[in-house]
Amino acid sequence: MRKRILITLSIFLLSLLAVFFMVKFQKREKLVKVERREVQKVVYASGYVEPEDYLVIKSEVSGRVEKLLVREGDRVKKGQLMAVLSHEDLVAAEEELLQRLKLVEERLKEDSPYLTALKSRVDDARIQVDQTERELRRREELAAKGLIPSEQLEKYRTAYERAVHLLREAEASYRDTVESLRRERNILRYQLQRVREDIDKRFVRSPVDGLVLKRFVSEGSYVNHLSQDNKLFAVSGSQKNQVLLELDEDYAGLVKEGQKVLLTLDAFPGKVWQGVVYKVESLVDRSRRVMTVKVKAELPENVPVHASVSAQILVERKYALLIPAYAYKDGKVIKYEKVRKVELPVKVGNNYDGYLEVLEGLKEGDLLVVPP
């Protein structure tokens, strides 16, 4: 009986001691549970709103703006005249080329005085050849009979050969002159076409049906088409908007088409819109180390063009085992197993807002000891 009382007393004292240490332990440290939660990884970017068919109309030529025929907010049709640049010198050049072309074409007519004179020279030379040839043949017959000396025959032969030479010269001159006139006509036609194309570029027309968003110049302004300041108008060909985001190139491998995007606009504080990435540009701006990401979203119709946008691109969404980052130190955690603590090596992955993803070493429901 006494022995049983001693055993019971010992068990009771051990229980009190365990409770004492547990209470003391809980006062100094606390426990956290390894949990499986849904996590999201986002990439932040900023950008602006732009119409899907946003066009900047630039001048293809240099010149002074003579007329502006549309204002900001006007609706325009495709092909509608929007502005006229100075072109007086080109009109003068066109007139000069037309006069020269007219003269050349007149000379190329079969019955023109110019070609008639050249033909007459050829005809006269041909008559001379026929005449000297007949005289030469008669002299050859006389010489064969011994009626005239050979010197006289040679004189007629020389006259005939010279007549043939002059005929060939006249024919060559006629051919060369006609060919030269044709070449000149082709050159003048080409130059005239170029001048007219240049004149046409001075009449700036809308490439689409749309809305004039901005006018970059005023009447009297000089536009240099070789500089960056050659913009004339900004036109929207569509009422649908898109968002252009500038993404740091470090995140280029994370962002893909089809990912969801949360958008906020400075013009509409407190509101959030959801969009979708539909294009990731492959060209990186080397000076700024950014690339363009295009997002489709149902934005308000009255959103200003080029309104500032902040975006969160959802690049990853999954369920993962998580532990607080402060429970992890030097590659290890302290695991609580009933009444004892065990230091375990753990492999972790990404950090999600202060929580580390557990890759190896723990399971869901495990308890970790962390500072209070």
Neighbours of 230 (CB within 10 A): 18
Neighbours of 270 (CB within 10 A): 5
* Selected residue with higher pLDDT from 339 and 59: 59
* Selected residue with higher pLDDT from 340 and 128: 128
Whether residue 294 has pLDDT greater than 80: yes
- Please give the Cα distance from 175 to 179 (Å, whole number): 6
Whether residue 304 has pLDDT greater than 90: no
* Overall average pLDDT of the 299-305 stretch: 85
Residue carrying the six token digits 């060909």: 237
C-alpha triplet 218, 220, 224: angle, nearest 5°: 85
Structure tokens that stand for 235 in this block: 């036109």
Residue 28: pLDDT band (50, 70, 90) is low
Whether residue 131 has pLDDT greater than 50: yes
- Please give the Cα distance from 195 to 97 (Å, whole number): 9
Which residues, 6 or more positions from 268, have their beta carbon under 8 angstroms from its beta carbon? Answer: 300, 303
Task: Report the chain's mean pLDDT, rounded to a whole number.
Answer: 88
Whether residue 355 has pLDDT greater than 60: yes
368 bridge partner residues: 32, 335
* Overall average pLDDT of the 141-149 stretch: 89
Give the pLDDT confidence of 157-186 residue by residue, as tens digits: 999 999 999 999 999 999 999 999 999 999
What confidence score (pLDDT) does residue 105 get? Answer: 95
* Overall average pLDDT of the 289-313 stretch: 90
* Overall average pLDDT of the 28-57 stretch: 88
Q: Is 244 helix (H, G, I), strand (E, B) or coil?
A: strand
- 163 class by beta-carbon count within 10 Å (0-12 exposed, 13-18 middle, 19+ buried): buried
* Overall average pLDDT of the 37-66 stretch: 90
What confidence score (pLDDT) does residue 371 get? Answer: 77
Q: Is the dihedral of CA 261, 243, 248, 257 positive or negative?
A: positive
What confidence score (pLDDT) does residue 215 get? Answer: 94
Residues in the chain: 372
* Overall average pLDDT of the 134-158 stretch: 91
Residue in 259, 262, 272 with CA at minimum distance from that of residue 300: 272
Whether residue 99 has pLDDT greater than 90: yes
Residue 53: pLDDT band (50, 70, 90) is confident
Whether residue 350 has pLDDT greater than 70: yes
What confidence score (pLDDT) does residue 318 get? Answer: 85
- 292 class by beta-carbon count within 10 Å (0-12 exposed, 13-18 middle, 19+ buried): middle
* Overall average pLDDT of the 254-265 stretch: 93
Alpha helices in the chain (DSSP H): 2-28, 88-108, 113-144, 150-201
Per the CB < 8 A criterion, the answer to whether 265 and 306 are in contact is no
311 bridge partner residues: 45, 263
Euclidean distance between the first and the last CA atom of the chain, given in angstroms as a whole number: 46
Structure tokens that stand for 213 in this block: 């968003």
